[in-house]
Structure 1
């Protein structure tokens, strides 16, 4: 929240992460437990993920969508991070 307070602290001894909401805390705990609630529904895939955002990013593997294009050479990528690595190495 605006106060910076993080009342939901991770209980793992090696982790000091804190969260502003119980929902964010519950989602984070799955990283430590290995629980993977989100499954790719594409026939024959079945990959599982701890976070919905990871499943969402995974879907471009099946759609072959590459929406991030370099403005210098028009090479396109699935993720902005890959495009960002391309620019300094190629231009």
Structure 2
């Protein structure tokens, strides 16, 4: 059950706190500011992730080769070099790519 509904878009949430955070997408409010560069974010977790750019922290490590990454998405992309997975396919020719940017460039 999701009793808290956004008046702007109608999306419903289980907790009021999640609705409050969601509403920042509509208002543009960014209350979480990086002390190093001044960039601001609507979610605390986004600030935490951003701060890795300043600290160099790389908490996501590839189990296959030991290489570390600052972002989970970067690890996911990297792991495709080991698995050979190519989830992005060209609708015109069928060629597949490991990264969406490569499909776009194609």
User: TM-score, with normalisation over the residues of structure 1?
Assistant: 0.80
Report the equivalent of 1:3.
Answer: 27
The equivalent of 2:43 in structure 1 is 21
Matched, 1:53 2:73: yes
Consecutive unaligned residues in structure 1, runs of 5 or more: 87-91
Query: How far 1:73 sits from its partner (Å)?
Result: 2.4
Unaligned runs of at least 5 residues, structure 2 = 1-23
User: How many pairs are equivalent?
Assistant: 82
Question: Where in structure 2 are the equivalents of 1:1-91 lying within 5 Å?
Answer: 1=24, 2-12=26-36, 15-42=37-64, 45-86=65-106
CA shift at 1:63, angstroms? 0.8
Q: Provide Cα deviations, 1:2-34, integer angstroms capped at 9, x if missing partner.
A: 32111111111xx33101122221111011110
With normalisation by structure 2, the TM-score equals 0.70
